[in-house]
A and B are shown apart, each in its own frame.
Chain A
């Protein structure tokens, strides 16, 4: 079974802090994705990567950056966390067809 793991299930950070969300997949997938999910807005794509050191902006990249130094790991970085970045963050990976999602990180910025 494909396994996608995220570093934390719950995280509480203060406004202005730098936040790192880590995602690791164990199936040698080329593609990895970061989404955020908010009530009434569904899942929105932040960034995705189709290879090591490659990244593409999704629909809402502002306020975020990403890093993909190794194939299995895709990191989402909030350079200076703000309260409007309080959300559920979901990581996914894929080879061709289906995406496999991690359990999510619920981030609260106070």
Chain B
């Protein structure tokens, strides 16, 4: 599975959009980009995934560059409850394969 690089931490004001970047320059053609988050003292929670098109769901939007070497997770109106560690992961789609979690980005949403 391709390696990802994320900033260690970021701040965001409550109500503003939080844009979390991820670099995955060695991504292969059959690998998807996944995002999870982990709120303190809880298990990780799936947010969104995509292959090459931009994706949106009720939680977030995922923007993938045309060359697929980087992506951005967007939380359109961050709330204090969005304070968490956000993990960007690249892997093949099949569920049976392991998912490698890196260090992630610690997002602090401030009032």
Question: Is A74 interfacial (CB 8 A cutoff)?
Answer: no
- Residues of chain A from 27 to 75 with CB closer than 8 A to chain B in the complex: 29-31, 33, 35, 42-43, 45, 48, 50, 58-59
Residue ID in chain B nearest A104 by CB atoms:
B43
A103 touches B102 (CB 8 A): no
Interface size class of B (residues with CB under 8 A): 20 to 34
Could you tell me the dominant secondary structure of chain B's interface residues? loop
Number of interface residues of A (CB under 8 A): 26
Question: Is B96 interfacial (CB 8 A cutoff)?
Answer: yes
B residues with a Cβ closer than 8 A to A are 32, 34, 36, 41-46, 49, 93-96, 98-104
What 10 pairs between A and B have smallest CB-CB spacing?
Answer: A101-B43, A98-B46, A50-B96, A43-B101, A94-B95, A96-B95, A31-B95, A31-B96, A101-B44, A45-B98
